[in-house]
Amino acid sequence: MEDRRLKTYFKLQIREMIRRSSPGPNGLMSFFAARKPKDEEILALLAISTMSSQSPLHGQFATPLEALAALSASSRAEICEAFRRRLVRRSVAGRSAVSDCRPAENLQGADQRLETDG
DSSP secondary structure string for all residues of 15-70 = HHHHHHS--STTSHHHHTTTSPPPHHHHHHHHHHHT-STT-TTTTT-SSHHHHHHH
Query: Is 103 a domain residue?
Result: no
Domain that holds residue 64: 2-89
Q: How many domains does the chain have?
A: 1
Query: Is 100 a domain residue?
Result: no
The pTM of the whole model exceeds 0.85 = no
> What's the rounded Cα separation, in Å, for the pair 81 and 78?
5
Query: Is 118 a domain residue?
Result: no
Query: Is 107 a domain residue?
Result: no
Question: Which pLDDT tens digit goes with each residue over 26-84?
Answer: 888 888 877 889 999 999 999 888 887 577 777 788 788 899 999 999 999 999 999 99
Query: Is 104 a domain residue?
Result: no
Query: Is 98 a domain residue?
Result: no
Burial of 41 (0-12, 13-18, 19+ CB in 10 A): middle
Query: Is 35 a domain residue?
Result: yes
Query: Is 76 a domain residue?
Result: yes
Per the CB < 8 A criterion, the answer to whether 47 and 65 are in contact is: yes
Q: Grade residue 101 by pLDDT with cuts at 50, 70 and 90.
A: very low
